[in-house]
Structure 1
């Protein structure tokens, strides 16, 4: 079985070694620039991209894309340690013989095949710390128009934390991050961007990712918060590939990873560039793909329902195969008339897609406004409110009403 190889870098000696070896490796193209090599690998479904110099190494997002199409990226470098610090990248010493190089590539290919066969569809690909079962990734998404997904995501995470779970919540909304604001935090450093930088530096330990987050006490529990970007212009700092890897690392050390994302899933940027370009909406799409559960928060009114139906149609077209659970929010007589839940369910069953409805949350603007004003979750401001009880049910937590109203909270950097 022959393996097609694209060599990135003008290393004539390397090409001569491959050709004189007469093994399974066959060089089909020599490229000077990463963009050219990526294009060739994408169009011709190349087996191996052999990078001759570290300075020519493609960005992490492109390495991930090549791995998804089953192209092995190999870096020959004199400083290679033999350990694959970057997932999807095989680093080998430039002194390695061709027979050893071929054996390493074949081993990597067999590992890639086994990986694709064993990996579940949910994206759960590894066991957690000390061999325990990894935690869950829950992504809160919704159509444009403020259906309340950030509020639901925050309070869902807070309820899980008070129930004793180890929780991390990430604000991955690249348009209008709001988790920090709802918690009364001022964080210009943007923990979510710091997390991406940590992963880009090939760090794979959860301690450094935890340290980039803020430890927040909620009621009798605590959770880690990765604050979002304070200005929308900083969206290139939040990279989809880096964030996906960070989430996978975090899930191996925490019981629950909650991700709040933007509503937009269009990936039209690729139409305006000759090469792979950063995509603002790629973060949302990547989080939807890797999540174990996707909660779609739908505003239960005459505007929110049609928007949600159209958004689900777009999701099926652009990112097929994702199972979505529906959470109706802002349910009330003023929005839907008498018997609001029954009316909304009838409308959804008549016009909406056949997705499972897992929750109905009442419209309580007064309580939500008080919570935002105080910079606290509902369990601290209105522990006996119907909205808080509904979110507890959504999270599968039995209500105890033990939280004291107005409980204090301290913020600190995670250690």
Structure 2
């Protein structure tokens, strides 16, 4: 059937089969079956390492390109500048909301310790505590890496992100087209890393099946409950951000509730079906112009810019995944670590826009986990069940895109109306 051709569906089926076979081997296979499963599981570790090796170069390359793109966009005019300011403010709101919401939800609905222990063992991830967090002075000093290469080698992701942001802005200031040459190099590096990741993801069903064997062998089918809890928590984070977008359009953009619902309903239906903001762009432009009365010159600037550099739900859902991992390991990141993680989440949400869904998950969530001092061994398992949260990601993204467009249209039209009344 057609839906079986989807990589996400294939990966989900592979995870379910791996867990089932691993659980059966533990229950009925005895020592020989366990040794066979452990041998196959090693292939899953190889697949995971193949993903890991691309994270630092990919995040650096896409961040440099993404920051340069935002800088160029902000230089195109007042409307674009104001749009970028709104994007950054809403991304920060998304991140802070997620930290508070997800920690609150998991405090009221804690992850089962028994299931967490089994899942940790199944993923073969270390159960070590978070490394000792630096004090505020040391943390501030660490933001600018004295040796970016060393920082990258040690997975000190926050200094790498800071360095990439500076490089991205600096490239746009180079004279005589020199910046374009460098930007082409980073674009090519990012594209090369994406090609590698796509190669790795071609065998994702096999890699996830191998990892799932270990989960089933050590955790049994009880791990399904933990994964179901993750789906609910991550989807809730995306849904809350979508609701915030609704409230902003109505309260700040002053769009009547009925009119807003009528304008967005076809777009939300398309978002649910396609899980792609880019695929929804024509509908967003049409509905904003025809139903919300947004001038064409505003819709044609803000919405393509939003699709290019703005993912409203990205910080929220990515942080939700990382916070869930922290709770699975029973770890408590410090306020400074959360500050760094929020900063990384904002940066990668810009840099990862336009990447394929599976690539985007890895390149967005892994750096945040590293910033929080968490292992990333569970991420391929979470990737396998990302289908449902991804729907809510897209719903929130298109809602945010149209909300910012409505707000900017109101702000642009009010001065025009005031000038017309004075005339």
Query: What TM-score do the two structures reach when normalised by structure 1?
Result: 0.24
Query: What TM-score do the two structures reach when normalised by structure 2?
Result: 0.23
Which structure has the greater CA radius of gyration?
Answer: 1
Query: Where is the helix percentage greater, Structure 1 or Structure 2?
Result: 2
